[in-house]
Structure 1
Amino acid sequence: MTQPSGPVGRAGPAAPATGPERRSRGLDALDLLDTPAEERFDRFTRMALVLFDVPLASITLVDGDRTFFKSLTRIPQVPEPPATDDFSLACVESGEVLVVPDAREDPSYADAPTVTGAPRVRFWAGHPVHDANGTPIGTLALADRRLRAWDGRDAQLLRELARWVDTELATESEAQRATAVQDALLPPPLVLEGYDAAALCLPTSVVSGDFYDHAGFGDDGHLLALADVMGKGTGAAILTATVRAALRAEATAYARGRRDGPDPGTGSGTGGPADLGVVVSAVNALLVTDLAASDAFVTGFVGWVHPERGELRWVDAGHGLALVCRASGEVVRLHGEGLPLGVVEDGTWAESRVVLEPGDWFVLTSDGLLDLLGGTLESLDEIARLALGAADPAGLMTAVRALADDDPARDDVTVLAIRRTERL
């Protein structure tokens, strides 16, 4: 008959039985139901086959009365079981480890489809697996068509494997939260009167160390920016949020005319029209301590467009990956002599200016796109060809996305492009 928990054990303190509504919320947050098999889960079921010498192991998710095999590993001689898994449903509803020594003799399971039909289970053992909130949402389970012994060592092994699955599920949950936050920080679609515009950000993992930003300030102009934090993953993503916040604050001050160039006599910011170089210096001053503590730096490009006259003021901070592609075919690379942010405390950056005529493109990218095209600065010529050959910036983004799809080992790829379509 069924063995309850006790000597078999389970992960952590006693877990109360959990209703289907809470399970469903946990599964909805993970978004794993009806998704294809993944190696990060299959490795656990493969390991279970070897460790326990069983012909079938699974990670099964339970949503209400429905079960779904997220991972199912079996020896070739064992047919795939039906989708309904009465064992996992009972295990999750109890929140306890479940061991069934002989399902044919157990009245609770003797009529189960997996017992009366393929794969004709006799022995079954399962451990609940949990979401990041500790809610049981499924099982790590073993099944055998033979009777077999079960002892404390087996229980410990199953417990440890289930904990590893819990860790993977928690990581998935945290990653999804991080992705949602970073997606929320991306600006809305870029709209500039008299211009076509588009942008994209393709992380190499769940979050990106690149970001682009734009913001309109009425008649004062429109901010265009892209930054690339050294490194990738969660650490770099945290820094990108900090850089973006500092840049937005200083851009607002610039739009209001408070970021004036230095007065020759006093050295203070009161000596003339607002200067974009002073904006970048102020961002650096805000970030340099945090970047040094993180052993990181940031390359970036900050531009300010006045759409009606086609003027682009810009500052390059060690980035060097901005292009103006003229309708005539001429390509102008916009790169300055400034260092990346976070390298020195008292860095200074110079503002430059370029005019976009109707038909001209402005393209700003991270080095991830260069890597897709060969990895050298010569790849900028190919980026220019892609832009001039595209119908519009949205078409350029489609071409970039296709390149990224063909290279799963790519770095973060971020691109922003505008093309002037008319004279205002």
Structure 2
Amino acid sequence: MTAARTATVTETAKVAGGVLLPTLAGGVIKRRPAVMQLAQRLQLDRPSVRVVTQLRDKYDGRPLRLRVPGRSVALALSADDVGTVLAGAPIPFSPSTVEKRAALGHFQPHGVLVSPPEQREQRRRFNEEVLEPGHALHELAGPFAEAVAEEAGRLRESPVLDWDRFARSWWRLVRRQVLGASARDDDRVTDLLARLRLDANWAYLHPRRDDARREFTQRLQAHLDRAEPGSLAATIAEVDGTTPAADQVAHWLFAYDAAAIVTFRTLALLASHPEAARTARADQSPELQFLRACALESVRLWPTTPMLLRETTEQTEWGRAGTTILVFTPFFHRDPTRMSYADSFVPSIWLDGRAAAQPALVPFSAGPAICPGRDLVLFTVSTLLAELLRDRDYRLSGAELSGAELSGAGLSGAGPLPASLDPFHLRFTTHTPEQEGPPP
């Protein structure tokens, strides 16, 4: 990596106003539906990517130090640098940054992502023992799949599927998987988490809700103490008992919210690409590899973590110790100079090695701090999609977005997929594949 360059005041202002502000406005810890709807209408990610592209071209991809008073902040502009930074966790590129500690402290101050080095290794090991990264099928895949089938069956009863209906079933499923069947209807525990996460969007600018966090933790711990068979809570009871489990589980629930968004966006892509939907429906592999690829492609097109952060623990080429490194994933995930498929839906890249050859395609981050729940999330998303698609076709309805736009074929013919996609206002109508005529 070459030494970092320094942005002008004007360039720093462009990054702040054109990249950071839209990202923060959308909600980095808990998405804001109204802002996401506006972002889709105005396609706000496209000008954000344009700002970073111009800087990459001007500075030949070198790291760019931004002029931020009192802080050392650098923007990554090279895919290879992204790979190097993510591979260097936790030293010298720590995933625990000032902003993350302030934000996640609202509901999980002892989570592995914001843990100091002396505690991180033990907590990371705890997460991996329970979540089993590297295994396409978790040891609880059987009971988890049964829960998915039951919740999907309820969703399939209606000819219309919107976000509110989907989200209710999703959280029932998640609570069953993580906390046990007895927690299925405990909306309160996840509603409290949602409130705390909305506060976390403001990081250190919002006061802590100590009463809400106390109630959330107590309800969560009660479910964990029950250790109901067939749930992650039961697995937790069998592993290291010195790790603050409630904070780790709070992060899992947080991550499952992003997985819900991925599921709904993937369904929209499949509704707009009939051939891919047919391939998905025919996928009989135990790991549902094609549907997993579709989900990964959804995250490539619309990253659920638009800004990855790292903080240097020592002096590096990026700057002094304590430098915050920004990785704007929408730019790297749709870089046409590296990927001919940048703005298209091409699930096969996740199966034939093309995605693996791109160090900045990071749907679950990468390196030692890669999401430990990635395989369990992909299992849940793909299994639910398989159940929904089993004998149903889905078509987008309503005025928010057309299937033509999501297929890359709007009124002007073939074109790039939307840069911004709001999942909260997607609406589907369903019918059986054999049915003639329009959906009901």
Do these two structures clear the TM 0.5 threshold for a shared fold by scoring above it? no
Structure-2-length-normalised TM-score: 0.21
Considering Cα pairs closer than 8 Å and 6+ residues apart, tell me whether 1 or 2 has the greater RCO.
Answer: 2
Structure-1-length-normalised TM-score: 0.21
Q: Which has the higher strand share?
A: 1
Q: Which has the higher helix share?
A: 2
Q: Decide which structure has the larger Cα Rg and report it.
A: 1
